[in-house]
Amino acid sequence: MNRIKFSNEINFIGCWNINNDDLCRKLVNFFEKRKDLQRSGITGYGKDEKAKKSVDISIDPNDLIEDEFKDIKIYIEELYKCYQDYKVQWPFLKNNLKTLDIPSFNIQKYEPGGHYNLMHCERGSLQSMHRVFAWMTYLNDVDIGGETYFEHFNLKIKPEKGKTLIWPAEWTHAHKGEVLKSGLKYIVTGWMHFPFKTQVPQNV
C-alpha cells in the first residue's frame, strides 16, 4: 500500500494504491462467479436507472469467516492499512474516532452507459447519520469515462486498478460516478460508521 497525492489542496480525500493486482482480479472473478448474488444497483431512494445503473453484490461482514469470502477478507485488511495511514495524516482521528465499524458493503459492476449520475453524499438522511467515512477501491483500469467527480472540489478521479479512496460522508463531499463510455468498471465500496452495540464489530 502506498499513498497517492493527487491534489495540493486540502480536501480530506485520502488516496492510496493497494498494489495487489492479483487481489483485484480475484474480487472481479468472485463477482462474475456469484451470479446468484447479483442485483440491480439501487440508491437510497430505491431503483432508478436514471440515477444509478449498475449491477451490485452486497457483502455481509459476518460472511467473511467463510472460506469462499477469504479474498474479500484480505481486501478488508488492505483497506484497514489505508485507514491507519489516513489517521496518520489527520491525528485528530486517533483520539476521537478510535473505533469504527464496517457494515454491509458492495462490489459493483458498470457496463458501457452505466453510472451513478446522481450527485449525492453518504450522510444525507436520519437513516445514514451514523456514517463517518465512505471508501472505494477501483478493481480495474478504465480508459474512457467512469470517473468519480467531487463537485465542491471540482475534482475528477480516474478509475485505476487498486486505487483506493477514503473520504468524509458529509455533504461537503457530494460526488457522482460519471457515465462509463467503454469497457467495464468494477469497484468495491462501502462506509465506516459509529459502532452499533447490536452488530458484530468489524473494527477499523
Mean pLDDT of 143-172: 97
Task: Please tell me whether residue 84 adopts helix, strand or coil conformation.
Answer: helix
Q: What is the pTM of this model?
A: 0.92
Mean pLDDT of 104-119: 96
Instruction: Please determine, for residue 98, whether its predicted confidence score (pLDDT) is greater than 60.
Output: yes
What is the phi/psi pair of residue 68, to 5°?
A: -65, -15
pLDDT band at residue 204 using 50, 70 and 90 as cut-offs? low
Cell numbers describing residue 45: 431512494
| C-alpha span between 89 and 97 (Å, rounded) | 14
Domain ranges of the chain: 2-193
| C-alpha span between 115 and 140 (Å, rounded) | 16
| C-alpha span between 150 and 172 (Å, rounded) | 9
The yes/no answer on whether domain 2-193 falls in CATH 3.40.50.720 is no
pLDDT at 45: 76
